[in-house]
Copies of this chain bind each other. A is one copy, B any other.
Amino acid sequence: GEHGFTLGHFPQSFEFSTLGGWIATRGAGQTSTGYGKIEQMTLAVRMVTPVGVLETREAPAVATGPCLLDIVVGSEGAYGIITEATMRIRPRPQVQDYRGFLFRTLEEGIAVLRDLMQHGPPPTIARLSDAEETAASLALAHEHRGLRALIEQVVEGYLARQGYRVAPDGSCFLLLGYDGVASRVARRWRRAEEICRDHGGFSLGRSAGESWKRDRFAHPYLRDLLLGVGVMVDTVETATSWTHLLRLYEEVTTAIRAAVRAGDGGPGYVMTHISHIYAEGASLYTTFLGRQIVGREVEQWWEVKRAATEAILSAGGTLSHHHGIGRDHVPWLTREVGPVGVRILRVLKETLDPAGVMNPGVLGV
């Protein structure tokens, strides 16, 4: 910060999490598209295990056998504690130019993200909400400032006649941003605006971006608040190739909606955004809400979690894009990495933590 550099890792949990935790869980921050997931930022680590210290070399690339650094990244404390890390840092960006767009359909927004990643200019941040999340964001926003006020002004005059609607079955909001030197950011925006327009995007301008920046770390507080007042709420996340993305989205959404209803949680509310994008595909981040049934909160949540995870794996999604395995995902780990994969995780545990004292239960080891 004060030396003019940034790591560029800003997870939603920024106020509650640590560097060691980011590395241990293979996390991704909100600007992962520009700065990478934590595994792209981690150059070297020192992990203290019960059988000794594992220290990797600080070279920008190596070919000294299987990558031991990538065994430490994602190890979730099961093998040892990460006590030091050498990180790639970047010059702090001169400008962070974040803007908002509306798209009539999720497909049009996805086409923009894919085009930007495959043909450029790749953004620093991209966050495409489905219609449900777009509507919820506007409903939750304060009435008299930021995005809410902006949309209302535009809607009244113009937007509705152009076919953009901000109802749960309506338009999709895209937050798109470029960090960097002012002249380069300006050049990138000229091309990105063109691509958005070509795919039916309606520009909401910079104030939509500013409003998002202001509220970016607020969601963890909202979740705890909701849980405390009788609302079941949680998130699931995954990633897949562009080819499978829309089908994965539809199947996960349908499965969660059905499970909330089946568990007597009412009609429920399921909303999704795409927030980590690659040349080859993207992540999906889905939030679900329902009415909590007093006395069976945990079972009720498990039923939805189970349905969501089964849908993810059946439709070709990965078990976790950036939240790790922990204990909750252990039942599906064999389906994700196969029996040989599970055997590798277990033998690493037996070797590095023979007494089984390091964060027992995570990774299923």
Question: Could you list which residues of chain A lie within 8 angstroms of chain B, going by C-beta atoms?
Answer: 25-28, 37, 39, 43, 49, 51-68, 70-76, 88, 90-91, 118-120, 184, 238-241, 276, 278-283, 316-325, 329, 333, 336-341, 343-345, 347-348, 351-352, 363
Contact = CB atoms under 8 A, between A and B. Distances in A.
Which of A74, A118, A341, A352 has the most B CB atoms < 10 Å from its CB?
A341
A234 B341 CA distance: 38
A340 B62 contact: no
A237 to B, nearest CB: 9
A280 B341 contact: no
Nearest to A280: B60
Each complex incorporates copies of this chain amounting to 2
Nearest to A278: B60
B65 A239 contact: no
B63 A322 contact: yes
A234 to B, nearest CB: 17
A241 B44 CA distance: 12
Nearest to A57: B318
Nearest to A72: B66
A28 B88 CA distance: 21
Nearest to A341: B68
A54 B343 CA distance: 10
A54 B347 CA distance: 15
Given A57-B318, A71-B71, A340-B352, 9 more contacts: A37-B61, A59-B241, A60-B239, A63-B322, A64-B329, A65-B74, A65-B325, A66-B72, A347-B351
